[in-house]
Amino acid sequence: MKKKATIISIVIVTILVIGIYLFLCIGYILYPIRYKDSIITYSQEYDVEKSLVASVINAESSFNTKAVSSKGAIGLMQLMPTTAKWLAEKLNIEYKEEYLFEADYNIKLGTYYLAYLENKFNDTTVVLCAYNAGEGVVQNWLNNKDYSKDGKTIDVIPYSQTKAYTQKVIKGLEIYEKKLK
């Protein structure tokens, strides 16, 4: 009987060790972290939570500098070239579309854009909706009582893709907060 209990204990410990290992591997795969120095530098420079920057990058491109969306968004933070050009002008830095494939440049512009949206909307969910669906679209949602009761927060996100995106980024905030300590 003692031998059976020992075998069961060994099996349980083995299962727990494998489970913990798989949990850590899945966490690493689903929530990778790269370009940490650039994320920290620009989040501090533009007063944006570093976990927000990392979670947006993960949701947008899974940390792939070469990512290009079907709509033409480019790089880690999936910036549209017209938006990126406007951001570069506001920052008074040179703009070339190919620069959007460079991690540091893309993170600089994307983080500045998040700061701009935070100053404009002052609500994380609204900021994320605007980052994903566009400022004008989100402003229309805020002006529509079906989507926003107070004109400042969004109660209903009408685009399913934007809703899923927002949920994914928000879920990643706590994970990236721990990874970026």
Give CA separation, 25 vs 2, 4, 29, 30, in Å: 35, 31, 6, 9
Q: Tokens 């002008």 label which residue?
A: 89
Give the Cα separation of 105 and 93 in Å (integer).
10
Q: Which residues are catalytic?
A: 60
CA dist., res. 159 & res. 177, Å (int)? 27
The continuous run of DSSP H or E covering 19 comes out as helix 2-30
- Rounded distance between C-alpha atoms, residue 97 and residue 40, angstroms: 24
